[in-house]
Amino acid sequence: MKVALDTNILAYAEGINGTEKRQAALAVIRTLPQEAGVIPVQALGELFNVLVRKAGKSRRSACDALLSWRDSFSVVETSPEIMLAAAELATTHQLGIWDAVIFSAAAHAGCRLLLSEDLQDGFTWAGVTVVDPFASEPHLLLRALLADDSK
């Protein structure tokens, strides 16, 4: 099962919003097989911005973080097809365009899950379901993924 990571998951793993969130994000990310994880390029761009503007990291440090994520998981580029699907998604479901780009990229990559704390938990579009990995009761699909990985 392929799983896309939203910006907030990456940002938490980088230490944004404290140690507790960082540990929780890393715990989920570490359970993902490398070949299962997907990062939409939009999420990398947003992460760079968060690391520089919110965390006060240098541009070099932020760039190094992006390279590390790129080395860890496959990255899905934003093609014209993905952007047009995102515009339709944003229009029909009232999502922000950049959230829709991440969602559309996840669908294009064949992901079943999009891990995100910011989007509506359980919302499904084009076969991709948003799952909040920090929810008190983990989504059934996430539980199944984590259970399969522990074997």
Average pLDDT value for residue range 64-87 = 97
Nearest to 62 by CA among 71, 77, 49: 49
Locate 78 and state its tokens: 């934003």
Amino acid 82: pLDDT: 98
- Between the alpha carbon of residue 35 and those of residues 2, 14, 53, 75, 109, the distances in Å are 8, 21, 31, 11, 12
Question: Would you place residue 32 in the very low, low, confident or very high pLDDT band (cuts 50, 70, 90)?
Answer: confident
**Residue 130 above 50 pLDDT?**
yes
Average pLDDT, the chain: 93
Q: Cα separation of 33 and 3, whole Å?
A: 10
Long-range contacts of 49-52 (CB under 8 A, 24+ apart): 50/7, 50/11, 50/14, 50/16, 51/11, 51/14, 51/16
Locate 105 and state its tokens: 């990229």
Nearest to 114 by CA among 136, 94, 139, 148: 139
Measured between alpha carbons, how far apart are the two ends of the chain, in Å? Answer: 15
**Residue 145 above 80 pLDDT?**
no
Model confidence pLDDT, tens digit, residues 85-101:
999 999 999 999 999 99
| More confident: 146 or 49 | 49
Average pLDDT value for residue range 69-75 = 96
Helix ranges, 32-122 (H): 41-49, 59-72, 80-93, 97-108
Q: Which of 3-12, 28-37, 74-83 has the lowest mean pLDDT?
A: 28-37
Q: Cα separation of 46 and 43, whole Å?
A: 5
Amino acid 151: pLDDT: 45
Strand pairing category for 128-131 and 124-125: antiparallel
CATH numbers and ranges of domains, the chain = 3-149 (3.40.50.1010)
